[in-house]
Amino acid sequence: MLKNSIKLVHFVLIASFVNFLLFHYPFFKYVFNTLDYKSFSGITIIVSLVIALLVVNAFVLYLIFFLSRLVGKILLIFFFIVNAIVAYFINTYQVIMDITMIGNILNTNYEEASSFFSFSLILYLFFLGLIPVFFIVKVKIAKGTVKRFLINFSLTLLFLVVFVFVNGGNWRWIDKNSTKLGALAMPWSYMVNTSRFYIKKSKENEKEILLPDAKIKDNVKSVAVLVIGESARSENFSLYGYEKLTNPLLSKVENLHSFNATSCATYTTAGVKCILEHTNSNKLYEILPNYLYRNNVEVIWKTTNWGEPPVHIKNFFNKGDLKGACEGEICNYDEILLKGLKEQILASKKDKILIVLHTSTSHGPSYNTKYPPEFEKFSPVCKSVELGECTQEELINAYDNTIVYTDYILASLIEDLKELKEYNSTMLFVSDHGESLGENNLYMHGIPATFAPKEQLEIPFIVWLSDGSKKLKSNETLSQNHVFHSVLNFLAIESPIYDENMNIFE
């Protein structure tokens, strides 16, 4: 076969069939789990989807390869390589390649991406990617005549038009499930959703919408520390009734309150944006640190994470900045965020201070690397990035240890704030989203919020207050947007945008 040329029609049919065979198990697993595959309508939908996947892919490849066999080969090589990588993540972490997940991928940095590297990924890449690529490179494709192309093209197009009309009765089910079907069809899932992502990004405001000017109402020294958690779900905090003691320190802290809360989204960029904005919106409004900095509040941002909206302040310190000024073991963990913080507060010449600490403590899949060894309270722990290979106990133990370390960081921060006797202080800990730990065979996060499981949406919202500063309202359930208005209230910032209903303080 490699020595002799193959007709273009035969080649694209084979390529489409191989693509169908190698990469569509998750697609049809979802189909079989969603409809009654034993009924006549179920059978017709399944047959229709098989035909659609085979014919549409072959049709597109036929058009591309006829116009340019070189371009066609390059694209097909790209598809098989990317398909293999995407298949690994879908099968290993049960993700779906929708616009939300594309946003996650495009906002992932090298450190996070490298944490997913595994031997299984190499196997996927080799067997599902490189082996097909070898044959694609070696095969010789005979170019057909223009007449034959026009005939085949016209007949296939006519078939597809008739096929669409014949399947009119199935469109209701397909449309209802189009989000997941489209996110599992290869290579259309990442191609179409990447285009959708960039179209959406291009429509966003390049410059944030400024909020009305604010003013400071008094000169009482006040500091608010907002700690943005990463992938922390309230279900695994003993403060929320978890049976394992994951909050041994915070459980003993006075003036500490925990509220039920849900996240706006299941991925970092949207979750952090929601925490920092005054309302849940697709628009890019001026975020809390930018707004306060512009209105004469001291603002300090320290992060070991990424994915925040543009931050326009003087004192912004990323992980590289923090590690450059740090020595010792703590430099490798989120404890680095506390280093020198009290001194920075005391050095400020302003009465009102906002500190934002953006952590990365509970981000998977390598939960066991997110805390120092002495915080491994629960064992055995999962040490593989392929979470499905670990037992449920190992996975949860590793994750719970990140919560124990979070408990230590928050308790240490509170002790530092207690020493600032001349300040009224508060700490708010709010996570960007939750995390799946194998429930319903789902791992990590990123499922669209409309049908995400509660594990990815239910988050901790923990508040501490210094003696004599403020009292809390009797809220039961909060949203991430409560942060903006509550910080304004605590720091005595008067603003036309302020909403008393979204404030947690009396």
Concatenate the DSSP letters of all residues of 271-306 into one string.
HHHHHHSSS--SS-BPPHHHHHHHTT-EEEEEES--
Same domain, 330 and 235: yes
Find the domain containing 50 and state its range: 5-203
The pLDDT > 90 percentage for the chain reads: 68
Q: How far is CA 130 from CA 1, 257, 315, 411, 453, in A?
A: 18, 54, 47, 50, 36
Same domain, 361 and 306: yes
Same domain, 275 and 147: no
For residues 397 and 437, what is the distance between their CA atoms, to the nearest angstrom?
Answer: 10
Query: Which residue is listed with tokens 């300090």?
Result: 300
pLDDT of 9-42, one tens digit each?
999 999 999 999 999 999 999 899 888 888 887 8
Tell me whether residue 217 is in a domain: no
Contact 415, 342 (CB under 8 A): no
pLDDT beyond 70 at 205: no
Boundary (domain end) residue, out of 138, 170, 203: 203
**pLDDT given at position 492:** 97
Cis? peptide before 448, omega within 30° of 0: no
Boundary (domain end) residue, out of 169, 203, 237: 203
Mean pLDDT of 158-184: 78
**pLDDT given at position 174:** 77
Same domain, 258 and 193: no
pLDDT beyond 50 at 399: yes
> Amino acid identity of 356?
V
Same domain, 374 and 424: yes
pLDDT beyond 90 at 391: yes
For residues 55 and 169, what is the distance between their CA atoms, to the nearest angstrom?
Answer: 20
Boundary (domain end) residue, out of 203, 236, 251: 203
> Amino acid identity of 154?
S
Q: CA-based angle 501:505:506, to the nearest 5?
A: 90
Q: What is the pTM of this model?
A: 0.75
Q: How confident is the model at residue 175 (pLDDT cuts 50, 70, 90)?
A: low
Same domain, 234 and 187: no
Same domain, 14 and 150: yes
Q: Provide the pairing of β-strand 436-437 with 443-444.
A: antiparallel
pLDDT beyond 70 at 490: yes
Which phi and psi (to 5°) does residue 6 adopt?
-120, 145
For residues 204 and 267, what is the distance between their CA atoms, to the nearest angstrom?
Answer: 18
Helix (H, G, I), strand (E, B) or coil at 428: strand
For residues 94 and 456, what is the distance between their CA atoms, to the nearest angstrom?
Answer: 14
Contact 44, 172 (CB under 8 A): no
**pLDDT given at position 443:** 87
Average pLDDT of the chain?
91
pLDDT beyond 60 at 204: no
For residues 392 and 439, what is the distance between their CA atoms, to the nearest angstrom?
Answer: 9
Tell me whether residue 264 is in a domain: yes
Among 57, 62, 58, CA closest to 72: 62
Helix (H, G, I), strand (E, B) or coil at 326: coil
DSSP assigned state of 246: -
- List, in sequence order, every residue forming a beta bridge with 353; answer none if it has no partner: 223, 298
Tell me whether residue 234 is in a domain: yes
Same domain, 179 and 283: no
First to last CA, the chain: 78
Among 333, 314, 313, CA closest to 323: 333
Tell me whether residue 168 is in a domain: yes
CB atoms near residue 96 (< 10 Å): 21
Q: How confident is the model at residue 487 (pLDDT cuts 50, 70, 90)?
A: very high
Same domain, 189 and 230: no
What domain count does the chain have? 2
Query: What are the structure tokens assigned to 94, written together?
Result: 């049960």
Query: Which residue is listed with tokens 């970092």?
Result: 268
pLDDT of 83-130, one tens digit each?
999 999 899 888 888 877 787 777 776 677 677 778 899 999 999 999
Tell me whether residue 213 is in a domain: no
Same domain, 150 and 56: yes
Same domain, 249 and 174: no
**pLDDT given at position 458:** 97
**pLDDT given at position 203:** 56
More confident site: 66 or 446: 66
Tell me whether residue 287 is in a domain: yes
Q: How far is CA 360 from the centre of its chain?
A: 13
Same domain, 189 and 276: no
Q: CATH number for the domain including 497?
A: 3.40.720.10
Long-range contacts at 449-452 (CB < 8 A, ≥ 24 apart): 449/263, 449/264, 449/265, 449/266, 452/266
Helix (H, G, I), strand (E, B) or coil at 328: coil
Q: How far is CA 316 from CA 252, 274, 358, 439, 498, in A?
A: 32, 20, 11, 37, 25
Tell me whether residue 450 is in a domain: yes
DSSP assigned state of 468: T
For residues 482 and 466, what is the distance between their CA atoms, to the nearest angstrom?
Answer: 20
**pLDDT given at position 177:** 79
pLDDT beyond 50 at 157: yes
**pLDDT given at position 1:** 46
Tell me whether residue 210 is in a domain: no
Contact 76, 63 (CB under 8 A): no
Query: What are the structure tokens assigned to 113, written together?
Result: 């991406």
For residues 417 and 238, what is the distance between their CA atoms, to the nearest angstrom?
Answer: 23
Q: Which residues, at least 6 apart from 378, have a Cβ–Cβ distance to it below 8 Å?
A: 244, 396, 397, 398, 400, 401, 404
pLDDT of 247-266, one tens digit each?
999 999 999 999 999 999 99
Mean pLDDT of 218-232: 97
